[in-house]
Structure 1
């Protein structure tokens, strides 16, 4: 059975991880707790995640905001009314247009019902969503973390999380995925919250103020 976390127990779980791992404790000491990143379980949220694939967060948000301005209510039905030209004006690449249309058609046809995923475990959700063109393991991992708040997810395909892990654990840049998973095995069953601490570190250390605090 999967476990979920909430805003109410988020800091408590961060503290538990800090007790288990000095590197994570140091992250909290330097930068405080991570934000409670959360998104609603909607088509719009999945579109946002697809837009974030292999681009900057700022670029993805710019495209999402353009889409919001165009159709206001981002539903599968409204999205399918847009032409290629209209989507290009919303900064959608040809590939992202294909992916989101495929998702929208699957939802309109009832092949994907987001509400039904809430009661499913990680493996079942992964099987359901990866049937959709353009949705791979990274997209599912982000969905599980940001939207469903499953506790024990580590997104091996996320460069920010992986690079932060290598830095705080002083791992070689060529460290194999299985070694990384072994390195954080003691984070179970809260690898999601560990990941959020890694993202927090990754983002905070890039701010000018991080140089004044000192980093690893």
Structure 2
């Protein structure tokens, strides 16, 4: 009798273990979130009830190349224009390292302008090699040239992608008037201050016309301003004519000094009168363009060099006066820049003295080997301190 009872109890115990409770899903981590009423997984498309606290999404980097560590003025020049339309697909165009490769937008008419080929080109070895160079291939050709000249450049090129001269970079439309104004605005101020002043400068010509508050009437532009600049959905950079006829006190309300306001107005007058044009900046030889722009009040040699490189996308520009380039080149040739006292490394260099990591003559000699792609070489000299140059052997 006892054995029958024990057999019956054993059978009842075994039947109770037939449907054990399912273990919790392996992917479910302990949390304080309210669980769904059923064991079905929450749909990934958000259908049905969702937890009261949304699940934290895992963020991933966009793998975009870092910004160029150039001075604030150069960064501001390279920014997209406020009148930039949606970027078109990059269409391959003929490119020339010694000429303007950017698509310029006329400050007066917004017409797109590209550099025109010389009327009477003298046949030369360079001409035969550049006829097949396009905006889709010029960066690749330039990088290959830099590596042929100095194999140590490969490490820099592999680690840093130069979007400035890439097909997508050369497809951007640049307003030369805005780029030069940005250069003037950013002089002797921090990058954040320059952006703030530029935004307020643009706002002067984009005030909402219907019933503006009385407190803002003192900072509004004069009543003769172009209505096209005022009635717009997005802030647009003013035309040269609008800036030229705006009183200096009004320009100064954007945070400009008296001198910078005069510089901007003088530059605007040259564009408005036709003394400076986008077509001329696109076609002029580099030395001619450099001489004409440095004659404008407020534009020094460094500002024009940065404009030629970042705005016009000329690929054979080199600035010996840029401290970042000096420091990068000193490190590139194997010097301990931390121990340099910035007093000029050459006693025979003109203007030597303070704030010189390397003599200008030596910089010219080294950079000359990388012609006609010195702009790209200069861009990588800004990148040297982000790379362990001790491995460049």
Q: Identify the TM-score tier after normalising by the shorter chain.
A: 0.7 to 0.9
C-alpha contact 2:302 2:321 (8 A) present in aligned 1: yes
Q: Name the SS for the 1:187 alignment partner.
A: coil
Alignment partner of 1:104 is 2:268: yes
Q: What is the Cα deviation at residue 165 of structure 1?
A: 1.9
Unpaired runs of at least 5, structure 1: none
Q: CA deviation at 1:181?
A: 1.0
Tell me the distance in 1 between the aligned counterparts of 2:141 and 2:379. 14
CA distance in 1, matches of 2:315, 2:326: 18
- 2:142 alignment counterpart: 13
Distance 1:58 1:169 in 2: 33
**Are 1:61 and 2:195 an aligned pair?**
yes
Q: Is the 8 A contact 1:11 1:33 kept in 2?
A: no
Please tell me whether the aligned partners of residues 332 and 389 of structure 2 are also in contact (alpha carbons under 8 angstroms).
Answer: no
Q: Which residue of 47, 60, 63 maps to 2:181?
A: 47
Partner of 2:277: 113
RMSD: 2.6
- Name the stretch that deviates more: 118-127 or 169-178: 169-178
Matches of 2:389 and 2:359, distance apart in 1: 24
State how 1:41-190 maps to structure 2 within 5 Å. 41-71=175-205, 72-171=236-335, 173=342, 174=344, 175-190=358-373
Query: Which of the two has higher C-alpha Rg?
Result: 2
Say whether the 8 Å CA contact 2:99–2:285 is kept in structure 1. no
Distance 1:54 1:178, change over 3 A: farther
**8 A Cα contact 1:144 1:153, kept in partner:** yes
The Cα of 1:192 is off from its aligned counterpart by 0.8
Structure 1 pair 135–19 and aligned structure 2 pair: CA distance change class (3 A):
same
Shift of 1:153: 0.9
Counterpart residue number, 2:161 = 33
How far has the Cα of 1:40 moved from its partner?
0.7
Conserved? CA contact 1:10–1:36, under 8 Å = no
For residues 84-124 of structure 1, give each alpha carbon's deviation from its aligned partner in whole angstroms, at most 9, with x where no partner exists: 44433323222221211111111222221222221110111
**Aligned residue-pair number:** 206
Structure 1 residues 104-163: Cα deviation after superposition (integer angstroms, max 9, x where no partner): 111222221222221110111112212211112112212211222222110122222222
User: Aligned equivalents of 1:36 and 1:125: distance in 2?
Assistant: 21
Q: Per the alignment, in what secondary structure is the counterpart of residue 92 of structure 1? A: coil
Which range moves more in the overlay, 1-10 or 14-23?
Answer: 1-10
Between Structure 1 and Structure 2, which shows a larger proportion of helix residues? 1
* Match in the other structure for 1:195: 378
Change (3 A) 1:4 1:100: closer
